[in-house]
């Protein structure tokens, strides 16, 4: 038999491995590997099978069949939480086990790596303790280190006992205190003084530890966001005009005489979308959404396009932004600034009094926005009937828009949109970036209006391309994992955050396969006014899959839509730019070029989804950083100050507490055990009010540790006065 394909090589490897353990050379001889091409396929097959957890390479160099029970090991993707501890979820025969790895046993593993776990100790629950034996595959393999001189690096964002050795020639431009992004190999080369030693290469010098904003720059670099743009991008910028020219208007519908405006945050400078509306004689609404035509200026495979694809999205980090495009594009020629001509793609929608989209069309246009509005001022009009200066001529239009927005909200709810509580927190900073307070973000009528109109436009564009049956990039959101949802409901019942009847009613529907998003909405609606609503909503939300980009339309469960896309933010999101490019008239493409997108889109979707998660994580870590900076300052002023808060999450490795000032911190199991050892045995549960003191703040790991104040917790609760 002549083995040719990679799959045939894999099959042969597995056939021999299942009979007995073999070294690489023994396998090569058994399969009769010959020639450079087959040798490369053989090595790649071994790597793939190991990464997939089908084979295991032991310390003696023998490959074995990965039989978890026989080996006493498991393999999976590790996630590392803020406290530095890792966890791996393994599902087997419908049962899911969570393996917990203490920080000291990570052995150089980074968040997202594929690892093999050893020394597994199962408890009475579906939790088990384990240690990382080795790293099979790096997810990113990048971490931040601080240079200490003499070739020594101090781990800055890395958890666990890790040491890195970099080539001497890469140290030339470093000084003591330089902070660098390092690519870490996955193979450990030694263990010295209980530290796992890895070879690494300096990817980028992030800055110096004493630089202003170095902490935010560190977070950004860890997630591959950098403020500087490559030289070829800066060169291309010189060819981009700074205003709309006469030749740019060819083939565009001129809407410069229409009443069109933008509504954004007060500090927004990259404005993607503008809106306009009229009411027709038959009582319908003509809603127009105008989106910056970025694809007109950003040519495919140009340096600007390649860099945008690499970044995937803009990252908004506290009071700063790392844009996907240089400011000349994002704040300049593509931003729908007030009183200047701008090129756009317009989606016109005829919407009935019931919220049904009766007809729509998509076309290239040119607009001149009449006003840069902000959410605060628009909310004054819509919620308080207060008209700010210079808004008088727009009041009637805004009222009509809000009328339609309320209709769309009701329709979306009827169609099954899951309305989760937004526990998003924003930091208010001083002009120098110092955190002053942390406020909950609330969606008011102006914010909901823009959301409703953008969803309408996005769904129309997605439906249009589905009808065309052309290559497309969809925004998809899968239905919940039934087991995860049931587990969340059982937790709510156990912690007495909902009644047994409420939880069991929905659990029975799930088990019988007779539930939909409306049932989840109905369940959540009951707790809207509860002080524990955010905890309940968050637990249910965690059972859901994350939304992502896909070249296949699988629907959007959270919005209750069959077809959905992202089209309305091409300045700050690469998938939206791709959507614009694919919406351009198809007579611009040769058939071969058009069909090539079928093969290109899956990779683009995967990368854009990945970079979206990286941006989300960077934004979260920046908020955590500001919280840590705030509480460090508070601790230095008064280390004995007592704070009140509520338990929002509990695991065997962590108790998470949200203070009344929206700061989030953690209590370790060791501190809980110590409290019990000295006689404090109060049973803590989700949603319970607690009193804490700050124990420790770590700026590098952006985490706050609390100690529970049992003296306050033990005081008898006062009865409320009638």
List CB contacts of 679: < 8 A, sequence separation 6 or more.
none
Tens digit of pLDDT for each residue in 128-169? 999 999 999 999 899 999 999 999 999 998 888 899 999 999
User: Is residue 226 assigned to a domain?
Assistant: no
User: Is residue 219 assigned to a domain?
Assistant: no
Judgement on whether residues 495 and 602 belong to the same structural domain of the protein? no
514-531 burial code (b ≥16 CB/10 A, e <16): ebebeebbebbeebeeee
User: Is residue 627 assigned to a domain?
Assistant: no
Judgement on whether residues 402 and 492 belong to the same structural domain of the protein? no
Q: How far apart are CA 52 and CA 639, in angstroms?
A: 50
Structure tokens at 285: 């609404």
* 615, 312 Cβ separation under 8 angstroms: yes
Low-confidence ranges of the chain (pLDDT < 70): 1-4, 93-94, 124, 421-423, 586-590, 675-682, 710-722
Q: How far apart are CA 142 and CA 158, in angstroms?
A: 9
Q: How far apart are CA 516 and CA 549, in angstroms?
A: 23
pLDDT at 567: 97
Judgement on whether residues 421 and 568 belong to the same structural domain of the protein? yes
Query: How would you classify the pairing of strands 162-165 and 548-550?
Result: unpaired
Last residue of one domain, picked from the residues 65, 93, 111: 65
Tens digit of pLDDT for each residue in 311-368? 999 999 988 899 999 999 999 999 999 999 999 999 999 999 999 999 999 999 999 9
- Structural domains in the chain (count): 6
Judgement on whether residues 314 and 389 belong to the same structural domain of the protein? yes
* 470, 594 Cβ separation under 8 angstroms: yes
**233 C-beta neighbours (distance < 10 Å), count:** 19
Structure tokens at 635: 């601790």
pLDDT at 721: 37
Judgement on whether residues 397 and 493 belong to the same structural domain of the protein? no
Judgement on whether residues 278 and 378 belong to the same structural domain of the protein? yes
User: Is residue 417 assigned to a domain?
Assistant: yes
Last residue of one domain, picked from the residues 50, 65, 80: 65
Phi-psi region of 182 (alpha: psi -120 to 50; beta: other; left: phi over 0): beta
List CB contacts of 67: < 8 A, sequence separation 6 or more.
none
pLDDT at 124: 67
pLDDT at 601: 95
Last residue of one domain, picked from the residues 83, 111, 137: 137
* 196, 161 Cβ separation under 8 angstroms: yes
Judgement on whether residues 262 and 129 belong to the same structural domain of the protein? no
Judgement on whether residues 197 and 312 belong to the same structural domain of the protein? no
Judgement on whether residues 417 and 430 belong to the same structural domain of the protein? yes
Expressed as residue numbers, the domain containing 245 is 231-475+563-619
- C-alpha dist (Å) from residue 575 to 121, 452, 456, 571: 44, 20, 17, 10
CA nearest to 569, candidates 400, 405, 325, 356: 325
* 273, 439 Cβ separation under 8 angstroms: no
User: Is residue 411 assigned to a domain?
Assistant: yes
User: Is residue 333 assigned to a domain?
Assistant: yes
Q: How far apart are CA 484 and CA 322, in angstroms?
A: 35
Judgement on whether residues 277 and 419 belong to the same structural domain of the protein? yes
User: Is residue 518 assigned to a domain?
Assistant: yes
Q: How far is CA 524 from the centre of its chain?
A: 23
Judgement on whether residues 327 and 207 belong to the same structural domain of the protein? no
* 631, 665 Cβ separation under 8 angstroms: yes
Mean pLDDT of all residues belonging to the chain: 91
CB-facing half-sphere around the CA of 324: CA atoms within 13 A: 27
CATH classification at residue 12: 1.10.10
CATH classification at residue 703: 2.40.50.140
pLDDT at 722: 34
User: Is residue 718 assigned to a domain?
Assistant: no
Q: How far apart are CA 569 and CA 461, in angstroms?
A: 13
Q: What CA dihedral angle connects 404, 260, 321 and 434, to 10 degrees?
A: -80
Judgement on whether residues 407 and 449 belong to the same structural domain of the protein? yes
């Amino acid at each position: 038999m002549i083995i040719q394909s990679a799959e045939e090589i894999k099959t042969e490897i597995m056939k021999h491995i299942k009979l007995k353990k073999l070294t690489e050379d023994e396998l090569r001889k058994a399969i009769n590997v010959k020639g450079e091409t087959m040798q490369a396929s053989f090595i790649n097959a071994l790597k793939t099978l190991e990464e997939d957890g089908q084979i295991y390479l032991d310390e003696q160099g023998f490959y074995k069949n990965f039989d978890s029970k026989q080996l006493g090991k498991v393999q999976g993707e590790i996630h590392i939480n803020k406290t530095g501890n890792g966890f791996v979820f393994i599902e087997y025969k419908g049962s899911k086990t969570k393996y917990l790895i203490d920080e000291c046993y990570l052995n150089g593993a980074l968040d997202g790596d594929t690892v093999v776990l050893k020394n597994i100790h199962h408890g009475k629950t579906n939790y088990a303790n384990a240690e990382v034996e080795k790293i099979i595959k790096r997810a990113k393999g990048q971490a931040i280190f601080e240079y200490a001189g003499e070739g020594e690096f101090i781990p800055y964002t890395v958890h666990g006992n890790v040491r890195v050795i970099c080539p001497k020639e890469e140290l030339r431009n470093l000084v003591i205190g330089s902070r660098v992004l390092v690519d870490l190999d996955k193979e450990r080369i030694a263990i010295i003084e209980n530290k796992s030693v890895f070879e690494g290469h300096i990817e980028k010098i992030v800055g110096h530890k004493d630089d202003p904003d170095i902490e935010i720059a560190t977070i950004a670099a860890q997630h591959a966001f950098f403020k500087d743009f490559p030289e070829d991008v800066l060169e291309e910028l010189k060819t981009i005009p700074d205003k709309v020219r006469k030749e740019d208007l060819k083939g565009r519908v001129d809407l410069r005489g229409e009443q069109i405006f933008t509504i954004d945050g007060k500090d927004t400078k990259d404005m993607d979308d503008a809106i306009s509306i009229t009411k027709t004689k038959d009582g319908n609404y003509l809603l127009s959404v105008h989106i910056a035509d970025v694809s007109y200026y950003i040519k495919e495979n140009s340096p600007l396009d390649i860099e945008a694809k690499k970044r995937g999205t803009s990252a908004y980090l506290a009071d700063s932004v790392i844009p996907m495009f240089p400011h000349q594009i994002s704040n300049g020629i593509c931003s729908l600034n007030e009183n200047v001509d701008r090129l756009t793609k317009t989606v016109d929608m005829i919407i009935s009094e019931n919220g049904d989209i009766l007809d729509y069309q998509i076309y290239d246009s040119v607009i001149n926005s009449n006003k840069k509005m902000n959410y605060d001022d628009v909310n004054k009009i819509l919620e308080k009937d207060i008209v700010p200066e210079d808004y008088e001529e727009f009041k009637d239009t805004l009222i009509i828009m809000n009328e339609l927005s309320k209709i769309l909200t009701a329709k979306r709810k009827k169609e099954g949109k899951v309305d989760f509580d937004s526990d998003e927190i924003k930091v208010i900073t001083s002009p120098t970036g110092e955190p002053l307070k942390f406020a909950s973000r609330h969606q008011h009528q102006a914010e909901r209006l823009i959301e409703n109109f953008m969803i309408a436009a996005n769904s129309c564009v997605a439906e249009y391309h589905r009808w065309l049956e052309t290559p497309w990039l969809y925004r998809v959101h899968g239905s919940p994992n039934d087991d995860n949802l049931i587990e969340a409901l059982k937790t709510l019942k156990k912690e007495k955050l909902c009644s047994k009847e409420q939880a069991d009613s929905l659990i029975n529907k799930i088990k019988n396969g007779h539930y939909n998003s409306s049932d989840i909405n109905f369940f959540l609606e009951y707790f809207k006014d509860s002080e524990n609503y955010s905890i309940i909503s968050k637990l249910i939300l965690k059972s859901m899959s994350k939304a992502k980009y896909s070249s296949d339309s699988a629907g959007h469960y959270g919005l209750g839509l069959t077809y959905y896309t992202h089209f309305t933010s091409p300045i700050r999101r690469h998938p939206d730019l791709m959507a614009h490019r694919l919406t351009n008239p198809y007579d611009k493409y040769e058939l071969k070029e058009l069909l090539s997108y079928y093969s290109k889109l899956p990779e683009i979707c995967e990368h854009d989804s990945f970079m979206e998660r990286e941006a989300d994580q960077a934004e979260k870590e920046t908020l955590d950083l500001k919280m840590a900076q705030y509480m460090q300052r508070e601790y230095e002023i008064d280390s004995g100050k007592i704070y009140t808060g509520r338990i929002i999450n509990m695991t065997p490795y962590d108790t998470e507490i949200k203070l009344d000032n929206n700061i989030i911190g953690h209590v370790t199991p060791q501190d809980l055990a110590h409290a019990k050892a000295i006689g404090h045995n109060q049973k803590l549960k989700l949603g319970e009010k607690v009193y804490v003191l700050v124990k420790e703040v770590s700026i590098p790991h952006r985490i706050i540790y609390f100690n529970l104040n049992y003296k306050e917790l033990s005081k008898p609760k006062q009865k409320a006065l009638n």
